Structures are given as C-alpha cells and as structure tokens.
Structure 1
C-alpha cells in the first residue's frame, strides 16, 4: 500500500504526491530520476549470472567497501568545478547534496590514506572556491543559487541552475555540513587549509535561514524564482533534523529557537514489527542527520519523553525493517535475515506485471519504506539502508552487506562498491526503465547514486572510528543549534560553553 496522507510531510512524501517517478522540482532525493532518454535502454537485457564473490573477513570487507566507495567521489567529480554527479555512469547533472557528501568523503580519504592530506585539501579547495564564486541572485537563469542557498541540481560543467529545479534548503544543509566537516578537519596553518576554513565560514554565514522560514518557525523545503516558496515545510520526523539545527545555530541568519519544538510537534510515535519508535518509513530518514550529528546519549524534550535518544530510535527502526523482511508479507524473493533494507532508491520500471501468476507493481526511483505509517514495497532492496545503520546495528547490518556481496557478486558489487539497488523478484528479460536483469538473480541497477554512496561511506566510517561525528562535535554552528533545541547529556554537556552560546 502507499504511504498515507499523514506521512506526506517530508521530502519523500512530497514526491509521492507528484507521482511514482519523482519530479526533480522537490525534495532531497528528487533528482535521482533518470533523464527520459534512458527509458527502456538496452541495459534491460538478461545477462550471464554473476559468480558468487569470495568470502572476506569483516575487516577486509569494510576496507574494500570504504575504499571503492570513496573512489566514486574522487573519480567522478568534475575536474573544473569539483561538482559531484547525481548519478553515474548515466550522464547527469550535479547534485548539491552529493557535493556535501563528496567534501566529507575527501576528509575520510585523507584520514584513511587513500589520498594524501594535501591532495584532499586541494580537491576541497577546488570545490569550495567554485561554490564561493558561483553567481547568486533572484534571476531564473545564469545563477547557481540565491540568499546563500544553492539549487538542488546544477549543470556539471557550468555550475548553473539545471532547468527549473528548486532552491533547496535540505540539499544546501547537506552541502554546508560537508563544508563544516572540512573546516574542522583541515586545521593546519598552511595557506590551503586556512583558505578552506575561511570559505567554509563564509558559505555557512551566507545562508539566510531566516529568509527561508516562509511560515512562522518552520523552514520551507524549496523556493523558485517562478513560484516563490513551495507549500511544504520541514517538520515531523525525517532527515530534516540536521537542517533545523544548522538553521538555529547559524552565525548570521538564524531562525528562532521556537523552530525546534515546531519541527518536533508533528512527530508520530508508533509501533511496527514489535518496535516502538518515531515513525518514518524509508530508512534514510532515520540516517541522514545522524551522519554529522552523534545523537547517542543526548536527548531533547521529545526524545526524553519517550526515554530514548534518536540513535536508539534509528536502531529500533532498523530492527523493525529486518523483522518485516523476515515476515515478508508480500512474498518477495530475496527477503530474509540478510535480505532487507527498504529506502529511497532506484527501481526497475513503473508498472504492473504478472510474476509467477501474481500481479506485482514495480516502481522506478521511489522513497520506498516500511513503518507504522504505511508501507511502500515493490521487492526492491538497497544496500545503502543496511550500511546507513552500521553505527547502530552492526550485528545485523554487516552480515546483510556481506551476504549481498557474496550472493550477487559483481551484479551488485562493482567498481565503486554497491550499485544502488536490486530486485530478485523482477522477471529476467523484461524491459526495464534502466538497469539490467541477470539470469537467475533478477533486476540490478547499473548506476551509483551520489547521496547513497555518501551514506554508505560516512556511516561505515562513523561505525569504525567516529571520524565525522568527532569533527562535528567541535563545530559551533551545530553546538549552538543543539543547545537552542534543548539537547542535554553526554558530549553536548561536556562541550565548552563558549561554543554553545547563542549569537547576539
């Protein structure tokens, strides 16, 4: 069944209202729609079965997965602008949120020794310089952003607005999170690292969050010069937590501290598959803010009232999805203890087919999910869902990722790690919107998505070292936002008071 109306307050929900194939005009994930020219490409033909991959130790597997996923960002970023594509190898526009993930990825690459610190600094500097100088204004064309925010998608070569996409608050927030991660990491007195910090500070201060608060105490999801602010705001429980915290903590244009209670006021508490938690069906909504914010051991009023922190909430949501896969009410192939993970991702086709005597409805890109508010499930699983919960559920996430690789081999795990999604139920030889079918295994994507690659890389690193979390614990914008939101306990209480002090 589809997501009910009550669950349509987030970016994914807005796309669901607009149809199964998401418009690039709304929401964090909308740009993952493929260009129309790719419809029913030759990639749909059945391929030879992929051999099973050899078993690796957990350590060796994580080393391999991190290294390959990092390489996606290093190889695909434009050499002139530093912009990162929305997807690859399908030709696409740049995703401004994927750029934020790329900036964070370069920090991980330097720390892991995949590239030198200087190489990483130069790549970061290339990207930040371009963003700093990219034209801003209220014109409909010839610009990259307005009021310190950036359009959801930019032309890879020119860095200018792609078609009529929206100025995106969430995608800019993810970009700024990447820039602030670089600001914290590149702390040496060299000219390059000093410039990185200076530009990151400038970009962060430029974002006029007060302007983006089109309705009292709420941040709008988007704005266009053609239509102004759209009708959707960030509130409830989903990936917008990071956005509101950065908006409240802004050094120059903050929103009111009342934005946090306004954001949490519409959170939905419920029970699904034996787990009680704040509800949001797609797992990405339980993961994206957690990339840069370590919610373990800290609580606001809403989470304290439920006697948990938001990290525990994500753990429960993840276990609920696994339990759903074990029960498998839809009878989908490949579901089970190590076959789970329903979230926003690519899919094979929009349409209904008869498979083994049963009518099945499949989707292309969609914000799939399973939770107490509704279920959107077409048998498509994504590795990024299990990887995104690695810091919270390693005991079930790591075996699932290992099994995906060993079971499906290079049909799913290739040059840059995991391809975006797979569907073992989809019939081999059937025409697809994109991707391919593999004999005996089902449908497999042939693209990597920038934001999903970023989720995999950052959350595995947080699981292994806490690197991104620890860097952002020093960021005054985030600390101010957390303090104003009323978070208490753990590392927030231990942070220097000066870093948490509101800007006057």
Structure 2
C-alpha cells in the first residue's frame, strides 16, 4: 500500500490500482498509520509517522476561542478515538504543543459548538445545544433564496469548521455531537437531550437519531421554523451510527479502549510513532484509567433499552 513510501496510498482497486493520492495528516486516517506501524508482518517505516505529522502546522491555530489542530468535520477528531485511548499519551508534536489528541478533540468539539452559537450564516435552529457538523447526507443539491440571501444546500458532504475551511449549509448531523461524548459530556449530553426534546420523532426513530436534518431548508412548513426541521434524512448511516454506539460505551465504561490497551499491534504502532506516557507506561494487563464518567445529573444508562425513557425524564427543559 506504499507506491510512494513512506506514505500510505489513499486507496486501491482492482481496476485502477493504487490511488494517485496518499493519506496525509491531520484526519481520520491516523488509525491507518498506527496499524501499519504496528503490523507484525508488513510494518511501514517509522518515517511514515514523521511524514504524517509534517503537515500539521498548516492546521494548528486558534479558532472560535480554541487553540488546536483543526480538521473541519468532527469525524476526523473521533474515528481513531473510537478504538485508541489517547488520554495522557503524546507523540512528539503533541508534547511540543502541551496537549494530547484527546484534549485536541475536546477543543475541536467546543469550537464547533461556539461556531453554532455565533451562527455567522444565520441558519435556523443553531444554538448552544443544537450543533454538530460532520460528513453526512444533506438536502441538496439546491439553491434557495432564504433568510435574505441566495443559499446553497449540499447533498452528502463533509461539513465542518477548520482553519481556512468552513463548510456549512445549515445541516446538523447528531453523530457529530454525540460521538464527542467522552471528550466533553458537559456540552454533548445537553445537546443530545435538546435535539431529542425539541425535534422529537421527526429526527429520532427506531434506531435512534436519523443521520441529519436541516431546519432552514424549505419543507412542509413555510416559513421554516426552528422547532420543526424543513428537511430530515430518512437514512441511518452505519459509519455515523457506529461511532455513536462505541463512544457512548467508551464514556460509560471505556470498554473499547480497555480492550485495545491489550492489543499488541496497537501498542506497537503507538510506540513506533513515538507515543509515550499514560497507559503505555503500564503493563498491558495492568490497571487502566477510569472512564470519564457522567455528571451526577446524567445517570449511566445500564440498559440501552431505557435510553428513550431517560431522555423523556431529562432534567433539561428545551431551549426557547
């Protein structure tokens, strides 16, 4: 998978062979490089991680009151974290900048919420508890005269906020906020509860939250109202639902992280990438850091079937 070593190619198909582009940081492919470094049979050279991080400086800066390594859609700050516990472990880049990737993802989560509060494009529904952009379906392609201007609505797109890149058409993906639950439960739990209470069954159905919604897109109601989305995706997308499930469990018990602590390939990949500290200093079978844990007003849901009942009994009232 390295036609241009030490980089890893973006893809391979039988028809076309290797893609002409390689994976370069910073994004969701951090896990690709860690597994490649930890491979017991075909490990890549350690310079692969040096190359991966060589572009980081382009994305490091301050955005919406947060200084962090940015990537626009939140999935880039979440996918590798589904499997790897980055609390307290650092590579050379993070050591130089005084944080770890877990804290970086927390800051990215806060930046997206702050963007929604500022709401520079004045979309319907955005606020302190309705936020979250990631790769998701959308109502487009379409253009509408909306809120005093010509607005472009996208179809499937990687929406989000980063240095030099903002992709925002008013579409909220619940997975964006909820999959950040371990990083910032104090803002994610209110967001999940608010979206559930405000929009109800229009965005929440048999398998939880539908993939995305847009309160500004012209729909059955006219004009659009912040309490009833004009467009709601009718799909559940596995790559969005999966991180919701796994990150809820990491928040509850750190289960996935604890299992991966004992995975020799993950540990080898992290160590060859220069990570140290935290749980990497312990025996693979030794104690692991406790899960983040919920604030007292949000009790753990021991039985997933009671989740809807817990939401219905939430102490949070919908935001006017």
Find out whether 1:283 has 2:74 as its counterpart.
Answer: yes
Q: Distance in 2 between matches of 1:465 and 1:226?
A: 44
Partner residue of 1:341? 132
Q: Name the SS of the counterpart of 2:219 in structure 1.
A: coil
Partner residue of 1:232? 21
When normalised by structure 1's length, the TM-score is 0.54
Q: Distance in 2 between matches of 1:495 and 1:453?
A: 33
Find out whether 1:481 has 2:256 as its counterpart.
Answer: no
Find out whether 1:454 has 2:242 as its counterpart.
Answer: yes
Q: Distance in 2 between matches of 1:313 and 1:392?
A: 9
Find out whether 1:495 has 2:283 as its counterpart.
Answer: yes
When normalised by structure 2's length, the TM-score is 0.85
Is the CA contact 1:420–1:449 (under 8 Å) kept in the aligned structure 2? yes
Partner residue of 2:310? none
RMSD: 1.7
Q: Distance in 2 between matches of 1:493 and 1:295?
A: 13
Report Cα offsets for 1:78-117 as digits up to 9, x if no partner: xxxxxxxxxxxxxxxxxxxxxxxxxxxxxxxxxxxxxxxx
Partner residue of 1:261? 50
Is the CA contact 1:279–1:373 (under 8 Å) kept in the aligned structure 2? no
Match of 1:364 among 155, 174, 182: 155
In the comparison of the two structures, how many residue pairs are matched? 280
Is the CA contact 1:280–1:371 (under 8 Å) kept in the aligned structure 2? yes
The 1:444–1:250 alpha-carbon spacing in structure 2 relative to 1, beyond 3 Å, is same
Q: Name the SS of the counterpart of 1:448 in structure 2.
A: coil
C-alpha displacement of 1:254:
1.1
Q: Name the SS of the counterpart of 2:231 in structure 1.
A: strand
Find out whether 1:399 has 2:187 as its counterpart.
Answer: no
Partner residue of 2:40? 251
The 1:440–1:457 alpha-carbon spacing in structure 2 relative to 1, beyond 3 Å, is closer
Q: Which has the higher contact order (CA 8 A, sep 6+)?
A: 1
The 1:356–1:300 alpha-carbon spacing in structure 2 relative to 1, beyond 3 Å, is closer
Q: Distance in 2 between matches of 1:253 and 1:493?
A: 25
Q: Distance in 2 between matches of 1:382 and 1:464?
A: 22
| Structure 2: runs of 5 or more not aligned | 286-320
Q: Distance in 1 between matches of 2:153 and 2:91?
A: 39
C-alpha displacement of 1:231:
1.6
